[in-house]
Amino acid sequence: MIQSIRLHNFQLHEDREIELGRFCTTLRGASRVGKSSILRALRWLVFNRPSGSDFIRHGTKGTRVSVIADGRKVSRVKGEKNLYVLDGKKLAAFGAGVPEAISNLFNLSPANFASQHDTPFMLLSSPPEVSRELNAVVNLDLIDRVMGRAAAQVRKAASAVEFSKNRLKGAREARDRLAWVREAEADLNTLEALERKAGEGREKRTGLAQTLEKVKVVEEDCRNAAKAELGALAVLETGRKALKLEERASILRGLLEAIATKDKELAETDKNLEKVATELDKFKSCPVCGKPMNGE
């Protein structure tokens, strides 16, 4: 709702502010004092119409129309600058139209304005004119477009439903044709179970083969160990025999040494005997018995 309007250098108004009533505001005065200018200024602010600059007060460089609506301040400025101002924010480069923020704030149409020379609203209008006025008020074109789009969406949805039904029918027929799949699935499950068992058997066979290889290796190790043990036994037996031979050789060496010792003793005895014989040869007769030493 518009609470107030202020005009600055707009046509006859140098600087005028008007507070509007909550429900109704009446402007009265003599002719050519600017009553219509106030309505014209409000129309210019809302619709950016009329264009041009003829409404700028004579002898001034620019004009400004400001409104307080729903607690927000809107200004339309034209002169050195051409812009709207909404709550202190400048809005420019809007061309011949109105910034969207301004249009959404007022939410008015030309049907909301009537001049003093207009006929009573729709009372003297022809049916087509009444239709156009109602269309402008309630936006029948938008309703028609929405209804048309809704009908198009309904047709599209119905087509999609029919298409989905046909697809569903085809899917069910395909499902019926594939009824054998359940039996095949059971067979497949059986085959998969057999395949798992076969895989387990292959794993066991592989494990047995590996175990057999290990047994062969152990067996070969046992053979080698047995051969080594037999070799060790043979070496041990040879050692025992050698030890016995060594013992016998030691005994023989001892005997030979004893014989050698006896031979030495005998040789020594022979030498002693020879010495004694030589000494006896020196005597002609025995010094004990006096007999001759020639052996007679």
Q: Bigger pLDDT: 144 or 84?
A: 84
Give the pLDDT band (50/70/90) at residue 131: confident
- The reported pLDDT for the residue numbered 101 is 92
Task: Please give the Cα distance from 44 to 55 (Å, whole number).
Answer: 10
Q: Which structural domains are found in the chain, ordered by start?
A: 2-107 (3.40.50.300)
Q: Is 24 helix (H, G, I), strand (E, B) or coil?
A: coil
DSSP3 helix / strand / coil % (the chain, rounded to 5): 60, 15, 25
Task: Please give the Cα distance from 118 to 112 (Å, whole number).
Answer: 12
Q: Which of 79-88, 206-215, 277-286 has the highest mean pLDDT?
A: 79-88
Strands (E), the chain: 2-10, 13-19, 63-69, 72-78, 82-86, 89-91
- The reported pLDDT for the residue numbered 139 is 67
Q: Bigger pLDDT: 270 or 50?
A: 50
146 CA to centre of own chain:
44
Average pLDDT over residues 7-12: 94
For residue 237, pLDDT beyond 90: no
Q: What's the whole-model pTM score?
A: 0.45
DSSP 82: E
Give the pLDDT band (50/70/90) at residue 296: very low
- The reported pLDDT for the residue numbered 288 is 58
For residue 66, pLDDT beyond 90: yes
